[in-house]
Each structure stands twice: as structure tokens, then as C-alpha cells.
Amino acid sequence: MSDWLSPISSFWDRDFFDSDLGLFSRRLGLSVPSANISETPQAYLLELAAPGLKRDDFKLEVENHTLTISSEKQEEKEEKKNGYSRKEYSFNSFSRSFTLPDSVKESDISASYTDGILKITIPKTEETPEQPARAIPVS
């Protein structure tokens, strides 16, 4: 693989193949938010679909070029009816990690949460010029 693809490749590959939950997430019924990753000349943009949470439910950390996004939410519901009471508990959590390329400003990463979407902006240290679209033939 050429050197210019290496940062982008590791950014994408880590999440899909080295995920904390791996193949067990489907078998155990764990819910991991879907992620969309895009790139502009100035930044990488990461969006996670996480409806039903609040801003305070998220924890974002950067360590050793790895961005980890996690959430834990515990709910307790009690219902009293006709002299009986019913109490239910639920606990949901997830964690996703993304390896960041060396060309990002880790100290300037920002996040916002609106309408069930967590949006994370990961600024680049230098602007990457946009390349015109081109067709790639398949042989």
C-alpha cells in the first residue's frame, strides 16, 4: 500500500476489523451505533446514529491516536397498579474506537449532539487539496 493511503486506511480499517466487540456484537444482541465517515480538505467528519441519548450520556476520549466514543445509560421504571408494583431496569452501553491519522489536531476535536446524531469534527493539521473526480477502470 502506498504511503499516502496509509493514514486513511488505518483510520477506516481499525473500526471495521479490530472493533472492541468484533463479531460477537450481533450474537450477543448488543447495539453499536452506525457510523458515517467523510472527509473535507480541512477535517474528517464522523457521525454516529445514537437516538434516545442525551449529550451527557457520551464520553469521548483521545489517547495514543485513538478516538474512543462510549456511552452508558441506565434506566429504572416503576409502575404501581391495583396494589401491585412492577419495577424494570434496563442498561445499555456501547464503545467504538477509531484510529486517527497522524495528520490531525487531536486537541481541536469537537463534538455536538442533535436529533439523535453525534457529530464529531476532527481537524487536519494541514489542508488537503481536493482532487477532481476520476473514473477508475476495473480490469
Query: What is the pLDDT at residue 81?
Result: 82
Residue 13: pLDDT band with limits 50, 70, 90: very low
pLDDT at 9 over 90: no
Three-state SS for 121?
strand
CB 42 within 8 A of CB 123: yes
Query: What is the pLDDT at residue 78?
Result: 83
Give the DSSP H or E segment for 54: none
Predicted TM-score of the model (pTM)? 0.65
The per-residue DSSP string of 21-42 comes to STTHHHHHT-----EEEEE-SS
CATH number belonging to domain 6-123: 2.60.40.790
110-134 mean pLDDT: 89
Query: Does 123 or 8 have the greater pLDDT score?
Result: 123
Q: pLDDT by residue (tens digit) across 26-83?
A: 434 457 888 999 999 899 999 999 888 889 999 999 999 999 999 988 778 888 888 8
Q: Starting from the edge strand earliest in sequence, which strands make up the sheet with 43-49, in order?
A: 35-39, 43-49, 117-123, 110-114
Average pLDDT over all residues of the chain: 79
